[in-house]
Amino acid sequence: MTVPFIDADDPLVADLLAGTIELVRAAGGFIAPTTRILERDGQLSIESSAAEGEPLLRIPREAFVRVDRVVWSQDGDRIVIEQVPDDCGDVEWEMLYLQVALHNACGKVAWMRRTHPSLDPGLPENLVEAVRSVVPSFRNPEMNPIDLLWANRCFRMPMHPTATAERVLVPIVDLLNHHAGGAIGGWDGESFNVATALAFGTQECALDYGMDRDALEMAIVYGFADTTADSRAATTHDPAALERIIALASLPGARESSAPLRDAALRLASAIPEPGSVPPP
């Protein structure tokens, strides 16, 4: 289904995205006219034919969703809103329900249970322990699916100059995929701004998720192996520990959720210089 700004396989997803765009614009936000939000099999991304560096998105704070002020529950693989904060404004209230409906329509919780190494209940314990030998915080403590979903999609920022920073969902911006050469989001106290960054070499727009995480840390937090960042930090990792992760995650019948761990460990291991070699400057 194709409507202005949207190219989606699922008509319900298209309607929810259209509602999101309408609400952002009604709140004073900006979406570049050449923007297209794509949905394929529940996966979302953003494309644009705008020139590199041109404004892509401006999302006003009125459209942000303060996820930690909501009381959540689950019904199977569906996200359920139990209670909203008393100070939730009309725009935030409507955006909250739109975004939850969108993620439910895309089957995000079920998809994460299957593919995310920090969530898959069937990930072998020996692989978990192997990863912990490199990143001790892996699955310690365990996160519930809803909290992990918001950890993947939210920014931590103060809603007002005197407020404490909190996790907020910035709609539409959260649909941008990561690339180390992607845009750096800008928060000016009134709106969150993103410029066009075509780091993938296509019309897909990218955002740099930042935080200086290495490939394995990205796999643990976001569920994918980042192949776009400088991997020379791998020199701090034990090669034998990385090789064990690779071996366990490459066994016949390995679960889908082990692939990001394998690919991340392969990338880090490949960056470790041979004994006696001189590392690149």
Q: Kindly report the pTM of this predicted structure.
A: 0.92
User: Is the confidence at residue 251, as pLDDT, over 90?
Assistant: yes
Please say if the pLDDT value at position 192 is more than 90. Answer: yes
Locate 279 and state its tokens: 């590392």
Domains of the chain: 2-123+141-224 (3.90.1410)
Residue 95 has pLDDT above 90, yes or no: yes
- Which DSSP helix (H) or strand (E) runs through 91? helix 90-105
- Sheet containing strand 2-3, edge to edge, reads 2-3, 6-8, 36-40, 43-47
For residue range 37-53, list pLDDT tens digits in order. 999 999 999 999 999 99
What is the b/e burial string over 172-189, where b = at least 16 CB atoms within 10 angstroms of the residue's CB? Answer: bbbbbbbbeebbebeeee
Measured CA to CA, the distance from residue 146 to residue 281 in angstroms comes to 42
Lowest mean pLDDT among 160-174, 187-201, 266-280: 266-280
Would you state the pLDDT for residue 59?
98
What helix, strand, coil percent values describe the chain, rounded to 5? 35, 20, 40
Region of poorest pLDDT, from 78-82, 141-145, 245-249, 260-264:
141-145
Return the bridge partners of 154, or none. 169
**What is the Cα–Cα distance from 267 to 215, expressed in whole angstroms?**
7
Q: Which pLDDT does position 228 carry in this prediction?
A: 83
Q: Is 2 exposed, middle or buried (0-12, 13-18, 19+ CB in 10 A)?
A: exposed
pLDDT of residue 274: 67
The overall average pLDDT reported for the chain is: 93
Helix axes 215-222, 259-270, angle to 10 degrees: 170
More confident residue, 276 or 270: 270
> How much is the pLDDT for 160?
86
Q: In this predicted model, which residue has the larger pLDDT, 4 or 62?
A: 62
For position 257, what pLDDT does the model report? 98
pLDDT at residue 190 is higher than 90:
yes
pLDDT, position 272: 81
Euclidean distance between CA atoms 180 and 198, whole angstroms: 11
Calpha distance 124→92 (Å, rounded) = 40
Judge contact between 163 and 213, C-beta under 8 A: no
